Structure 1
């Protein structure tokens, strides 16, 4: 009879809906009871550990012999545990609210604590003093990298905060940047009542050179270690660098280079003096503007368009910012977009500390009277040439460079020319252009 009634109720729309709702409600009840049991398990375990005896699902203790007093004591203990748990939860909530209120400022406080316990901290010389995170910190040991480029006032900042220090650098490469006003002030010093001749000379030396270079000369061999083996450059390039800048003491440990599609030596020079002066000459943008050289820019761009595929990791280094801009525009047209150009073209200063498989260095200067400007600062040429790992290509007007009015630069170019004639690869710009265009006799 009941089954027939259920069938009739199910067929009725309202009855069927009510039955479905009842089944859903019963299901929810069962799930809620199951979840409540799971939630109660940790509390039940804590109550049992507190000595209340095993707690059964219906809430009664499992002690059959326990009397009424034991039951009351057990429930009082449970109440204390529950009250302690509630108080702990309330305390945690207060702490959490306080932490959330402090989040905007807690980041800096946390960083300061982390820095205080750090084993190694990296910073610039000035940053050691100016960064709030490092305020009040002293150091057991300071390592100052690229110390040959750091002027004395900047170098003193980390040194006075450290018990011991090691300076790492190369005073045969880029010197410290010297502000024009400071340079003019130092040059204008003359001996007088306030300054002796020795004091003037010392001040000018401090301003003009890095303290690393000054210390290197007088600190004594027992306090210094000199690099005698280099592993970056091919031996042909490194041997010239060693003779020209390091007194011939620099040895080489390099795996060598593979076959090259164009040059027969890792040290190559493309000479533009085979062109008429109007074609190869430098130009100046305005009375005090930068110097650029259109022939060199076009030649370098054409070279990289055909040659960079052999050395995908490449860079072009030039001495003048105006030439950097011209080269970037020219290379973007040839290589198709700034992405492959912007980070690969720059001045010598921009590439200090970098290295690439292929380095192309353009001298830019080309004139009738042998004026080379600040190319006469030989340390810049040293930096440019020592960036290479596989192939170095120099581009310039050997006629102008070889007639430089600066004795040191002229002697270096003479030594470079002699090296090129024996173990290097000296090519005329027309020959290179012919190879690039793939047609004999092709001219620009």
Structure 2
């Protein structure tokens, strides 16, 4: 190898090492190739460029940008003293200032960018894509408008899809969403059981503190000590990397959380999604990500259209309240819940009660359309809802319900005085109950008026509710004995505020 290196001398190094590795002689390097130039400030490439006869600059200005931490005042002072006071123009500042991370990187200068917003110059564009499965890179292609020609041979993952999203309500403590950490810890064995290895998987987050918490938890001795340290980290650390499976944990789950950090530009999610070769998994509060709009909303909708979406349920959500009963209790799983919901609406004669933590998404409209027939028959319909997350700071930050959906049902029930929409009392409810006519109740994990499974269940395709891809299946029990039903109704009455 030493002899070969003398015939074909090639040196690989970081830009910071150039001064130590090469003499300060102009054009001592025949050709320099600088990769990831879209995240390199211009001044960092100067030591190599002055030593090079030719240079090839490779990068993507729509991926991770340089990190420059200057206050607005420092930026203004720098513009004035280093540019305007020197006889240069503001456009020169936009084209050459190292802190103009979206206009003046090494890539921008090499491509001849003008400094105008959105102008990335005239570089040679590499249009053929070979890394990601088509449904994965399609998201990046859409938001960045690359116009790629995807050459990757289509290959479905062992989980029968290339895109998965797990909705996790979330709770923030010390800038860490512990429920997302727990969900990912429980997701890893599912992937291992389908033939993936730890070396195939990387876990990323936009936020360093949360990424550190994921690394510390997952690499602990009691969990997955085989995880390499570098396989869990921030999106920024994974620029230029790729894995068969990428899990993105967004952390954000409250109205006051920093969605703008993710949504301000397309760069972060463009990099995060395009790291995945075969399977991309989003773990986060899908309701909040959609409500934030922008690129997070587009990502959730892209996965809904092209992949699988699941609601993550904790062990407590799935605990059978009748597990100690001597009676053999029938179990309801996944799409069977919709069958019982439809059956209840069709069969109910006197009273239908729905208890659910949330009212949001498409289900309230579907319910409003379907329940009219029962209301016209004189059925009394009661909907009790509202979940208070004890980890959140105030009641105002707990309202993850959709105001339009609430109004829709409230206006509907106004025309039927015996029916009502009632928020649960101040402590809220995490119960999920469907009960009708003192005949039958379904009690368990199914979010009756906020779940995302209807389209998949209506298509009658079992692969769309793939248990191998779910962290836990949606499970409930059927309750029919009179005493248990009476106790359930008593419990529900205690949850209800005055009818609204």
In the alignment, which residue of structure 2 is the partner of 1:127?
Answer: 17
Is structure 2 residue 338 aligned with structure 1 residue 440?
no
In the alignment, which residue of structure 2 is the partner of 1:353?
Answer: 240
Note the 1:23-422 alignment, pairs <5 A.
119-131=9-21, 134-136=23-25, 138-178=28-68, 180-181=69-70, 185-189=74-78, 196-202=89-95, 204=97, 207-208=100-101, 209-216=104-111, 218=113, 224-245=123-144, 247-261=145-159, 264-272=160-168, 275=169, 280-283=170-173, 285=174, 291-310=175-194, 311-312=196-197, 313-333=200-220, 336-369=223-256, 371-376=258-263, 377-404=265-292, 410-422=293-305
For 2:229 and 2:277, the matched residues in 1 are separated by 21
For 1:320 and 1:244, the matched residues in 2 are separated by 22
Structure 1 residue 199 displacement after superposition: 4.6
Structure 1 residue 202 displacement after superposition: 4.3
Query: What secondary structure is seen at the aligned counterpart in 2 of 1:340?
Result: coil
Query: What secondary structure is seen at the aligned counterpart in 2 of 1:303?
Result: helix
TM (normalized to structure 2)?
Answer: 0.55
| Residue range with higher mean Cα deviation, 320-329 or 196-205 | 196-205
For 2:472 and 2:266, the matched residues in 1 are separated by 34
Bigger fraction of residues in helix: 1
Structure 1 residue 330 displacement after superposition: 2.6
Query: What secondary structure is seen at the aligned counterpart in 2 of 1:430?
Result: coil
Which runs of 5 or more structure 1 residues have no equivalent in the other structure?
Answer: 1-110, 286-290, 405-409
Structure 1 residue 341 displacement after superposition: 4.6
Judge conservation of contact 1:149–1:210 (CA < 8 Å) in 2. yes
Task: Kindly provide the CA deviation profile for residues 198-223 of structure 1, in whole angstroms up to 9, marking residues without a partner as x.
Answer: 45444547643413124435499997
Which runs of 5 or more structure 2 residues have no equivalent in the other structure?
Answer: 319-469, 478-500
Task: Kindly provide the CA deviation profile for residues 255-281 of structure 1, in whole angstroms up to 9, marking residues without a partner as x.
Answer: 2223534xx531221122xx4xxxx23
**Distance of aligned partners of 1:431 and 1:298 in 2 relative to their CA distance in 1, 3 Å threshold:** closer
Greater CA radius of gyration, 1 or 2?
1
**Distance of aligned partners of 1:341 and 1:398 in 2 relative to their CA distance in 1, 3 Å threshold:** same
Judge conservation of contact 1:308–1:314 (CA < 8 Å) in 2. no
For 2:289 and 2:122, the matched residues in 1 are separated by 39
For 1:216 and 1:269, the matched residues in 2 are separated by 37
Judge conservation of contact 2:38–2:105 (CA < 8 Å) in 1. yes
Structure 1 residue 379 displacement after superposition: 1.0
Task: Kindly provide the CA deviation profile for residues 28-77 of structure 1, in whole angstroms up to 9, marking residues without a partner as x.
Answer: xxxxxxxxxxxxxxxxxxxxxxxxxxxxxxxxxxxxxxxxxxxxxxxxxx
Bigger fraction of residues in strand: 2
Structure 1 residue 177 displacement after superposition: 2.7
**Distance of aligned partners of 1:224 and 1:135 in 2 relative to their CA distance in 1, 3 Å threshold:** same
Number of paired residues?
309
**Distance of aligned partners of 1:389 and 1:301 in 2 relative to their CA distance in 1, 3 Å threshold:** same
Query: What secondary structure is seen at the aligned counterpart in 1 of 2:202?
Result: strand
Task: Kindly provide the CA deviation profile for residues 303-350 of structure 1, in whole angstroms up to 9, marking residues without a partner as x.
Answer: 012223432111101122221232123323586453325232111122
Task: Kindly provide the CA deviation profile for residues 342-381 of structure 1, in whole angstroms up to 9, marking residues without a partner as x.
Answer: 2321111221111111110011111124632522343122
For 1:222 and 1:329, the matched residues in 2 are separated by 42
